[in-house]
Amino acid sequence: DKGERLIRLSEIHEHGRNAEKFWVFKGDRVYDITDWVPNHPGGEVILRAAGGDIGVYWDIFTIHNKQEVYDILEQYFIGRFDPQDLVGGKPPSEHVDDPFSTDPDRDKALIVRSSRPMNAETPASALQTYLTPVNAFYVRNHLWVPDLANGEGYRLTVEMIDGEEKQYSMKDLRAKFKQHTITATLQCSEWTGVRSRDVLVDAGLDVVNLDEDIQHAQFAGAEAYGASIPIDKAIDPRGDVLLAYEMNGQSLPRDHGFPLRVLVPGHVAARSVKWVNKITMSGEESTSQWQQRDYKCFGPNEGSNPDWDSAPAIQEMPVQSAITNIRRVPQDRLNNSRLAQVYGLEEDAIVLEGYAFSGGGREIVRVDVSADDGRTWQQAQLIESNEKGAKAWSWKQWRIALPRREAMNYFCVKAVEESYNTQPETFEAHYNFRGNLSSGWHRVPVPEST
Ligand code: MTE
Ligand code: MO
């Protein structure tokens, strides 16, 4: 195209991560991405590419290979690569180390949604047990898994509001503080470690006369992730915030934060920072993308460009429930089963199973199930569990048997927690473009085969 600015490679190199403006190229097109950096869903990690070829990073972070991402980049077009700098008609290739090359191997049972970064779901079959097995536990990484060898060189730094710092090795944490185990749902697992409260007190925090300037505990992960929680939660002896080094009684796997992660029970899992290497007492929330942007919620009408700053970061989770299993039990197999007795069934039945959960340690007190699209309801049996921790940090599993002939189009479930909060009837009513906190009644079509 005539009239397009031609840009020398040396000029692009001058707009690296320490410059005022950040330039990148892709193919022979050059972009000034300065204004995009604060909006980048992956945070400031994008600055790795500043001053060079962003294409090689997209080959690594393959999540970018889609039209909406190309469209965003195009908005920042400033000119073309000067033909003087082309080699064989192409921009010179640049080599970057692939940070994902040392990611751990994963269990084949996981349902992989993206592999770089790794995002993988627990298969429904692994949700039947109360404690989800470690190998089937969902993985949610925003970046790569940091390679921290055997954890021996690992240090946790705690910074007070006056800048005073104290460091802990894994040995220090294990030797110095009382060990605690809690059962908590990210989906669901048991977590062992030491209390953040104990470490903060040891590092010099006066929890009795708390400095009013301290409002948040910020956590930094060893790759580049970060998030924060209100200080009250971090120091509440019954808040059970752990610096965890074990999961279901075994050492944390690398994907889940080896050697140390924060575990903030009752809060959105985004605050449970993995590979945590720094805790900072602060008047402010974490400035990370994941605190300021992604994990917030909006009204159905607010569209995809909402007022991010006025919405609070998601912390405690709302009440939610789901159906995970549906099976038909013919009358002759009901015999005198306890479920059949509880529900007074003497005919073909459908047994439904699932879970219910609420944040903030608020216990699930009731689970209502409907076989007729939400017209009439019955209460499911809540299954007892031996959960550990000061409050109800973990899901409740439930089970119900219903007469088969009552099944209409949909099975529905909704849960009620101890503050009598319950779930909205429809997803439409609280749809938001982030898709966050979608806690409407879970509806599952009545399967043909039942
Ligand atoms: N911590 C770091 N350092 N990096 C991350 O990408 N992802 C967060 C949180 N902590 C993340 C992190 C999010 S959004 C979730 S849902 C949980 O980790 C997932 O934990 P899991 O992978 O152990 O299931
Ligand atoms: Mo998450």
Q: Does residue 102 belong to any structural domain of this protein?
A: no
Q: Residue 234's domain spans which residues?
A: 121-295
Do β-strands 111-115 and 52-53 pair in parallel, antiparallel, or remain unpaired?
unpaired
Name the token pair of 155: 């240090």
Going residue by residue through the chain (450 aa), what tens digit of pLDDT does each one get? 557 899 999 999 999 999 999 999 999 999 999 999 988 877 788 999 999 999 999 988 888 988 989 999 999 999 999 999 999 989 998 888 888 999 999 999 999 999 989 999 999 889 889 999 999 999 999 999 999 999 999 999 999 999 999 999 999 999 999 999 999 999 666 889 999 999 999 999 999 999 999 999 999 999 989 999 999 999 999 999 999 999 999 999 999 999 999 999 999 999 999 999 999 999 999 998 899 988 999 999 998 889 999 999 999 999 999 999 999 999 988 888 889 999 999 999 999 999 999 999 999 999 999 999 999 999 999 999 999 999 999 999 999 999 999 999 999 999 999 999 999 999 888 888 888 998 999 999 998 876
Residues 161 and 278 in one domain: yes
- pLDDT at position 45: 85
- pLDDT at position 38: 84
Residues 131 and 273 in one domain: yes
Overall domain count for the chain: 3
Residues 262 and 385 in one domain: no
Question: CB 320: neighbour CB atoms within 10 A?
Answer: 23
- pLDDT at position 65: 87
CA of residue 40 to ligand 2 center, whole Å: 17
Q: Is 188 a catalytic residue?
A: yes
Q: Is 412 a catalytic residue?
A: no
Q: Does residue 362 belong to any structural domain of this protein?
A: yes
Q: Hey, which residues does 156 pair with through a beta bridge?
A: 168
How far lies 125's CA from each of 108, 110, 121, 156, 374, in Å? Answer: 13, 11, 11, 37, 26
Q: For residue 290, which atom of ligand 1 is closest to its CA? A: 14
Q: Does residue 63 belong to any structural domain of this protein?
A: yes
Q: Does residue 410 belong to any structural domain of this protein?
A: yes
Residues 288 and 172 in one domain: yes
At 90-129, the pLDDT tens digits run 999 888 888 899 999 999 999 999 998 999 999 988 988 9
CA of residue 202 to ligand 2 center, whole Å: 30
Residues 327 and 284 in one domain: no
Q: Is 40 a catalytic residue?
A: yes
Question: Is the pTM above the cut of 0.90?
Answer: no
Q: Is 140 a catalytic residue?
A: yes
Name the token pair of 187: 């989906």
Q: Does residue 301 belong to any structural domain of this protein?
A: no
Q: Is 142 in the pocket of ligand 1 (CB under 6 A)?
A: yes
Q: Does residue 1 belong to any structural domain of this protein?
A: no
Q: Does residue 307 belong to any structural domain of this protein?
A: no
Ligand nearest to the CA of 274: 1
Residues 264 and 343 in one domain: no
The complex's ipTM?
A: 1.00
- pLDDT at position 450: 62
What is the CATH classification number for the domain harbouring 281?
3.90.420.10
What is the CATH classification number for the domain harbouring 52?
3.10.120.10
- Name the active-site residue from 17, 106, 140, 443: 140
Residues 125 and 264 in one domain: yes
Q: Does residue 164 belong to any structural domain of this protein?
A: yes
Residues 282 and 408 in one domain: no
Residues 131 and 220 in one domain: yes
CA of residue 289 to ligand 1 center, whole Å: 13
What is the CATH classification number for the domain harbouring 398?
2.60.40.650
Q: For residue 117, which atom of ligand 1 is closest to its CA? A: 6
CB 155 within 8 A of CB 277: yes
| Angle 370-374-379 from CA coordinates, rounded to 5° | 35
Residues 207 and 247 in one domain: yes
Residues 280 and 201 in one domain: yes
CA of residue 205 to ligand 1 center, whole Å: 27
Residues 332 and 441 in one domain: yes
Return the residue whose CA atom lies nearest to atom 9 of ligand 1.
270
Rounded distance, CA 201 to CA 243, Å?
14
